[in-house]
Amino acid sequence: DVKVTQSSRYLVKRTGEKVFLECVQDMDHENMFWYRQDPGLGLRLIYFSYDVKMKEKGDIPEGYSVSREKKERFSLILESASTNQTSMYLCASSTIYLDRGHIQYFGAGTRLSVL
Amino acid sequence: GENVEQHPSTLSVQEGDSAVIKCTYSDSASNYFPWYKQELGKRPQLIIDIRSNVGEKKDQRIAVTLNKTAKHFSLHITETQPEDSAVYFCAASRSGGSNYKLTFGKGTLLTVNP
C-alpha cells in the first residue's frame, strides 16, 4: 500500500511566522503535489514537483514556496504566514508509469491555523 | 488551463435511491477523468476513473460515463447506502510527458438518509 505521511495533523502558528509542512511518500513516486482544501472551493493546487529539485506553480502559488531535495520528501513553506492561509493542506503523490499513472495518493492532511 | 465545473454542490438522497453527479471540463486535450471520495475527516481516495478511449466504466454500484463531444462526464451511484455519504470530487487531466497534474471540481457533498 502506498503511504503518504504528513508530519503534523494540526498546527497553530502566529502571523508572520515561517511555517514548514512536510510530506514523505514511500512508493518511489516521481510526482508530488501540495493542495489546500477550503469549504466550497474544493482542492486547489499550490505547487507540484515531477522530479527532485524540480517544481512548478499550481493555481494558487502566491505566498508559498516548496522544496524537493530528495525524491521521497516534498516540503511546503509559508515564508510569512498570514491569517488567510488558515486551511487544510493536503499532500499527494503519483507515478509517471502509465499503467499506474495519474492515480494520486493523498496524505491525511495538516490543518493549519494562523492566529 | 483546464477548468472543471461540478454539479450539484450538495445532494441528499434516500437510502436505496440513485445519485448522479455531473462534471464538465474545458480542455479538449484532457483524456483522463478520475473520481475521488472523501469521507468526513479522511483523505480523498480514488474510487473510479475513465480514460477518453472509453465511454463508460462500471464497478459494482458505481459507474462513470464520458461524453467527449460535449466535454462532460458523470458519476452514477446506484442503491445508495449510508456509507456512500461523503464529498465526491471529479477531476480532469492530460496524460503524457512528466506532467500529471489533476484539475479538480469543487466537490459534491452527498448525504444518504437511512
Q: How does pLDDT run across B18-33, given as a tens digit for each residue?
A: 999 999 999 998 988 9
Residue B9 vs residue B55, higher pLDDT: B9
Q: Would the pLDDT of A18 be above 70? A: yes
Instruction: Using CB atoms, pick whichever of A42, A58, A106 lies closest to residue B43.
Output: A106
Burial class, B88, CB count within 10 angstroms (exposed 0-12 / middle 13-18 / buried 19+): buried
A99 — pLDDT class (breaks 50, 70, 90): low
Yes or no, beta carbons of A102 and B102 under 8 Å apart: yes
Q: Is B47's pLDDT higher than 90?
A: yes
Asked if residue A100 has pLDDT above 60, the reply is no
pLDDT score recorded for residue B100: 77
Distance between CA A110 and CA B4 in Å, rounded? 25
Residue A1 contacts by C-beta under 8 Å, 6 or more apart in sequence? Answer: none
Q: Is B106 exposed, middle or buried (0-12, 13-18, 19+ CB in 10 A)?
A: buried
Could you tell me which residues are beta bridge partners of residue B108? B88
Residue B95 has pLDDT above 90, yes or no: no
- CB distance A56 to A48 below 8 Å: yes
- Asked if A30 and B42 come within 8 Å (Cβ–Cβ), the reply is no
CA distance B81 to B20: 14
* A25-54 average pLDDT score: 93
**Gap between the Cα atoms of B19 and B110, Å rounded:** 8
CB proximity A64 to B under 8 Å:
no
How close A16 gets to chain B, by Cα (Å)?
Answer: 28
Question: What's the confidence (pLDDT) of residue B54?
Answer: 80
Q: Residue A34 in contact with residue A66, Cβ under 8 Å?
A: yes
B interface toward A at CB cutoff 8 Å?
Answer: 1, 6, 9, 32, 34, 36, 42-46, 49, 89, 93, 95, 98-107
For A48, the closest of B89, B101, B107 (CB atoms) is B101
The answer to whether the CB atoms of B102 and A104 lie below 8 A apart is yes
Residues 6 or more apart in contact with residue B53 via CB below 8 angstroms = B31
Give the pLDDT of residue B96. Answer: 62
Q: Is residue A78's pLDDT more than 90?
A: yes
From B42's Cα to the closest Cα of chain A, the distance in A is 6
The pLDDT, as a whole number, for residue A98 is: 62
Q: Which residue has the cell 451511484?
A: B77
Q: For the residues A16-45, what does the mean pLDDT come to?
A: 95
- DSSP string covering chain A: ---EEES-SEEEE-TT--EEEEEEESS--SEEEEEEEETTTEEEEEEEESSTT--EE-S--TTEEEEEEETTEEEEEESS--GGG-EEEEEEEE---TTTTT--EE---EEEEE-
